[in-house]
A and B are shown apart, each in its own frame.
Chain A
Amino acid sequence: MILVIAEQREGKLNRATWEAIVAAQQLAGGDALRIGVLGASAGAATQELAAAGVGEVLDVTDAALEPYTPDGYVLALAQVIGSTKPEVVALAHTYQARDFAPMLAARLNLPLITDVTGISGTGRQATFTRPMFQGKLAAEVKPAGGGPCLVTFQIGAFRADALKKGASPSPVTSTAVTIDRAAIRQTPDAPFQEARQAVDLGQAARIVAVGRGIKSQEHLPVAEKLARAMDAELAASRPICDSGWLPMERQIGSSGQTVAPKLYVALGISGAIQHLVGMKGSRTIVAINKDADAPIFEVADYGIVGDLFEIVPALVAELEK
């Protein structure tokens, strides 16, 4: 049995959970799934999952599970895994999973394979594909030993629309856990957003994005000119915003905005996975990079290998003809 741990906040299901369920369906090879939902009370997320009819929903409720803390989740999930004995525990590779899954794996001494993009085989016999070396290499990985393992699936690697829905809703089973509140060491405040984002890159039809290849802040006008000539918004990969060359609100990627414009032009962006998850849904992707092996070319429709400082001005000249 594959146990999927859903992710919800205030009853709203994280859509990456559907991708984890699709991956789990592939991994289960037709066998049953169970889906655990943690929170203070059974909410809309539980109902939404049950309605899809993809497997028994375990409603793991305890007041100590709201708000989320890694300590609370690990205490609860150790009990759920102990009582349900899954072969594999499947999660989406979200920031929340990254926060608690390694602790859960360490506490139970179970292997944890993270950021998985592909599965071959089923159940505990499966091998998993995951990126290594910033996506320059793909690794086939097997969990050691014969016991259960935990797997997190990269966001965007499995398509939520490939979900095989059941003919009828799945049952919801209330699953009791005992959590000693004194054992929860983190005290979180409510999540907040920094100053309202002035630019909504999600609405842009075209985006020109710059990465480390731009080399210094003084070179930004090179990209700005292209953005103007294409009627595009200017955006950047994380390192550019980290350096303060462009404001954080123009950052594309897992920690910034997710976009899917008509045209995405990546200038000097190598294509670390944290960036790719934010833009690979774009309709047409152009990559200009000096390194022919840069992972950005794996998602690009059109690629030019070369010096962006020569190619971009030529592009501007061509567009202005």
Chain B
Amino acid sequence: MKIAVCIKQVPTREWQPRLRDDKTWIREQDASFEMNEPDAYALEESLRLREKHGGEVVVCAAGPSRVQQVLREALARGADRALHVEDEALGSADAFVTAAALAAAMADEKFDLVLTGLQSDDQGHGQTGVVLAERLGIPHSTIIMEIQIEGSSLRVKRELEGGWFQWIAMPLPALLTIQSGINQLRYATLKGIMAAKKKEIRKVALPPGLQPSQQIVALALPVRSKQTQMITGSPSEAAKELVRRLREEARAL
């Protein structure tokens, strides 16, 4: 079983947004980055599938040189090798460009299964995985909570809205986008970190001529839809004031 898992590197949760002067992208030099959380679940799932069915896990990313950090981390957690489509312009690329870049690098590898997170915590298009499946010419299913493989057939549990689920069968090769919470994540061991240093990260050039499908005209802090009343003071003062307002103004208690 040859499994690819696509990961993205995104700003950390604690990152406070600061914009570039032209206000169409963030100031990357102020950000610290980490593995996109949904992709971490996809990685974990690929490692579990390899433990069960044998084979190889190849971690794939399209991004600037900084992306090496999360590729190394994935190798330390247990992936066998990495593919990196490297180009500085990929840091702010849209889903079409990212998927095309990945597809070009992955096509010759003939993976049996490709996993991605369901969306990224940065641009959050929720498109890259599905577009990649279409570019690779393989079937897909999204927001997956369980994977069963028998021979060349695949059965997956897809999450629907409001607590509903559905089992879907499809042939391999296939692409699945993985829902967060499908498994419990493992972290890299010291042994894994040492082993990762010897693992291969193959760099691939970005194919020329990829056109973005959309353009960010401006980024800004979101407009508040409500006038939030901020309550200040010491914890006990704030608590007293909040309870008073919830009783007298909002009549919610």
* Residues of chain A at the chain B interface (Cβ within 8 Å): 70-71, 94-95, 98-100, 102-103, 105-107, 110-115, 127, 131-145, 185-194, 197, 206, 212, 230, 238-239, 241-244, 248-249, 254-258, 262-263, 270, 283-287, 293, 295, 297-307, 310-311, 313-315, 317-319
Contacts and interface: CB of A to CB of B under 8 A. Distances in A.
Nearest to A283: B252
Given A142-B214, A263-B253, A298 B225 contact: yes
Contact of B168 (A188, A244, A256): A188
Contacts of B89: none
Contact of A103 (B133, B167, B236, B245): B133
Interface stretch (B47-55, B69-77, B158-166, B195-203): B158-166
A94 B239 contact: no
Nearest to A14: B161
B11 A301 contact: no
Contacts of A242: 180-181
B183 to A, nearest CB: 9
Nearest to B139: A185
A118 B121 CA distance: 20
Nearest to B222: A138
A314 B235 contact: yes
A254 B213 contact: no
Nearest to A255: B159
Given A140-B217, A141-B214, A283-B252, 5 more contacts: A143-B213, A188-B158, A194-B165, A230-B253, A263-B250
Nearest to A155: B161
B190 interface: no
B127 interface: yes
Interface in B196-253: 211-226, 228-232, 235-236, 238-240, 242-243, 245-246, 250, 252-253
Interface stretch (B58-66, B79-87, B140-148): B140-148
Contact of B163 (A138, A197, A270): A197
Contacts of B211: 144
Closest 4 CB pairs of A and B: A242-B181, A314-B239, A102-B130, A185-B139
Contacts of A318: 236, 239-240, 242-243
Interface in B10-32: 11, 13, 15-17, 19, 26
A238 B171 contact: no
Main secondary structure of the interface of B (DSSP, over half): mixed
B249 to A, nearest CB: 9
B143 to A, nearest CB: 6
A95 B126 CA distance: 10
B252 A255 contact: no
A185 B142 contact: no
A143 B215 CA distance: 6
A131 B162 CA distance: 22
A186 B168 CA distance: 6
B169 interface: yes
20 contacts: A70-B142, A95-B161, A98-B142, A136-B17, A137-B219, A138-B223, A142-B214, A185-B139, A191-B165, A197-B163, A248-B163, A249-B163, A255-B143, A255-B161, A285-B226, A298-B225, A299-B225, A301-B250, A307-B235, A313-B235
Contacts of A143: 213-215
Nearest to B238: A304
Contacts of B105: none
B7 interface: no
B169 A187 contact: yes
A105 B170 CA distance: 22
B166 A263 contact: no
